[in-house]
Amino acid sequence: MANTNKMIFAMVAGILYVVFGILKMLEGFGIETGLAESLLIPGDFFGGFCFVVIGAVFLYAVKELSAGVHMGVSYVYVGILMSLVFMAVYLLVMGADLLMFYAVKSEDYEGWRIIDSMRPGIYLGLLSLIGYFYWKDRFTTEMTKV
């Protein structure tokens, strides 16, 4: 059943976003999690909160779908859309960094590498991008219909 796929997807995405969100919030408070460097997690309290919200949306989908509520897929779609919005935000931030490095040649950006602007919002967003294309029909046809 298609909903089983969506449920598994929502479960994985939900847990990832909640965990990363909590890590961002902890780092934002100045609590060293030891994972900041390897996972490129910035300390960012509000940004972390947003991740937790996205994760909660996915997990709500799991809750409804597992209770047999078909409309629970709504939360999968909204979770995907939100994580894509955040992916876009972090890509824009990366674009801004590129401009600072190449066009402005700011002193603060000496030795900057593109990986320095890589954020969980971008690589976790890839997961949602896959989901988006996998269930693309739902997004494109319905979007234009309304």
Partner 1 sequence: MEKKKITIALAGNPNVGKTTLFNAITGARQHVGNWPGVTVEKKTGKRTYKDTEIEVVDLPGTYSLTAYSLDEVVARDYVVEEIPDVVVQIVDATNLERNLYLTTQLMELGSKVVIALNMWDLAESRGDKIDTRKMEDFLEIPVVKTVANRAEGIDALLEEVVREVDKGEHHEHEVSYGDDIEKKIIELEGIVGKDSALSGKYPVRWLSVKLLDGDENILEKIEGSSVATQVNSVLSTIKKDDYEAAMAEKRYETINTVLPQICVKCVNEVTFSDMIDRAVTNKYLGIPIFLAMMWAAFEVTFTVATPLMEFVDMFFGWLAGVVAQSITNPVLGSLLGDGIIAGVGSVMIFLPNILLLFLMISLLEDSGYMARAAFVMDKLMYKIGLNGGSFIPLLMGFGCNVPAIMATRTIEDEKERLVTILVNPFISCGARLPVYLMLAGAFFGRNAGTVIFGIYILGIIVAILSAKLIRGTVVKGKPSPFIMELPPYRLPTLKASAIHMWEKGSIYLKKAGTIILAGVVFVWLLSAIPAPGVDAAFASEEILGTEDSLIGVLGHIIEPLVAPLGFDWKVAVALVFGFIAKEIVIGSMGVLYGTGEDEDALAEILTAGAMTPLTALGLMVFTLLYVPCIACVGVVKKETGSWKWTLFMMVYGTALAWIAAFLIYRIGTAIGWGL
Residues that bind partner 1 (CB under 8 A): 28, 45-47, 49-50, 53-54, 56-57, 60, 69-71, 73-75, 77-79, 81-82, 85-86, 89, 92-93, 95-96, 99-100, 103-104, 106, 138-139, 142-143, 145-146
Residue with Cβ nearer partner 1 (23 or 73): 73
Contact (Cβ atoms closer than 8 angstroms) between residue 121 and residue 90? yes
Minimum CB separation of residue 122 from partner 1 in Å reads 13
Residue with Cβ nearer partner 1 (35 or 56): 56
Minimum CB separation of residue 100 from partner 1 in Å reads 5
Residue with Cβ nearer partner 1 (81 or 129): 81
Residue with Cβ nearer partner 1 (3 or 138): 138
Output the CA–CA distances (angstroms, integers) from residue 53 to 43, 46, 82, in the order listed. 17, 11, 9
Minimum CB separation of residue 143 from partner 1 in Å reads 6
Contact (Cβ atoms closer than 8 angstroms) between residue 59 and residue 18? yes
Minimum CB separation of residue 21 from partner 1 in Å reads 10
Rounded distance, CA 61 to CA 70, Å?
10
Burial of 52 (0-12, 13-18, 19+ CB in 10 A): middle
Rounded distance, CA 112 to CA 81, Å?
30
Rounded distance, CA 81 to CA 120, Å?
16
Minimum CB separation of residue 133 from partner 1 in Å reads 16
Residue with Cβ nearer partner 1 (107 or 111): 107
Rounded distance, CA 37 to CA 58, Å?
26
